[in-house]
Amino acid sequence: MEMDIFSIFSIIGTIAFAVSGAIVAMEEEYDILGVFVLGLVTAFGGGVVRNLLIGMPVTSLWNQGHLFKIAMIAMTIAFILPADWIQRWRRSEAFFDAIGLSAFAIQGALYATQMKHPLSAVLVAAMLTGIGGGIIRDVLAGRKPLVLKDEIYAVWAMLAGLVIALGWFKSTLELLFLFVVVITFRMLSVYFNWKLPRRSLKPAPAEQHTKGEAV
């Protein structure tokens, strides 16, 4: 049953992030090769980074042929969809991104706990699996990584990892419930514009005006 859960969350996260990467590539007017490259990087980049950190063989990526096929099919469908359909999808982009975040965060945490790693490693595995692909996608697309400056994002992945590391949710139904909870909190943070504390070193407008007068 545990492997079934791995498969479920892997498939859900792969589809959500592959399409997300493909859409970003089309927004940046990449050609079809760029669409597939960015989609694959988004879908599998976080897992590769996670594997490096928790000691899983990076080559295990090549054993996921079925996920590559699923990602390719999802990206192909996204590429040939009419533009107005894609625009509709973009209005729900945060929701599908939340699905990928939740699915991959749980998947990463499950891998780390299966390997008997400590709490800190489980948190990192959950976070990097959930947000790593999105960061790589934004960097390759020439964008500032939104996952580090937008509404609360990575925190929900870490909370999913914390719950799993503490052994609170283990059964299939409990993990599916956690999946829904993470999506819900991510969408609440988008809707209510929840943000973590931040500090800017840019001078305030009044200060800039004062400096201009001094010159």
Domain total of the chain: 1
Residue 169, token pair as written in the block:
């949710």
Reported as a pLDDT band with limits 50, 70 and 90, residue 1 is very low
Residue 9, token pair as written in the block:
């969350």
Distance between CA atoms of 200 and 215, rounded to whole angstroms?
24
In Å, the largest CA–CA distance within the chain is: 70
Q: How confident is the model over 166-193, as pLDDT tens digits?
A: 888 878 888 889 999 999 998 898 888 8
16 with 46: CB under 8 angstroms?
no
Reported as a pLDDT band with limits 50, 70 and 90, residue 207 is low
Residues 6+ apart with CB under 8 A from 157: 101, 102, 104, 105, 108, 126, 127, 129, 130, 131, 182
Q: Which helix (H) or strand (E) holds 1?
A: none
Q: How confident is the model over 40-67, as pLDDT tens digits?
A: 998 898 888 888 887 777 777 777 788 8
Question: Which residue's structure tokens are 């870490």?
Answer: 158
Distance between CA atoms of 75 and 22, rounded to whole angstroms?
6
Q: Considering the entire predicted model, what is its pTM?
A: 0.80
Reported as a pLDDT band with limits 50, 70 and 90, residue 150 is low
| Res 57: pLDDT | 74
- What is the span of the domain harbouring residue 120? 2-214
Reported as a pLDDT band with limits 50, 70 and 90, residue 151 is low
Q: How confident is the model over 5-21, as pLDDT tens digits?
A: 667 777 877 888 898 88
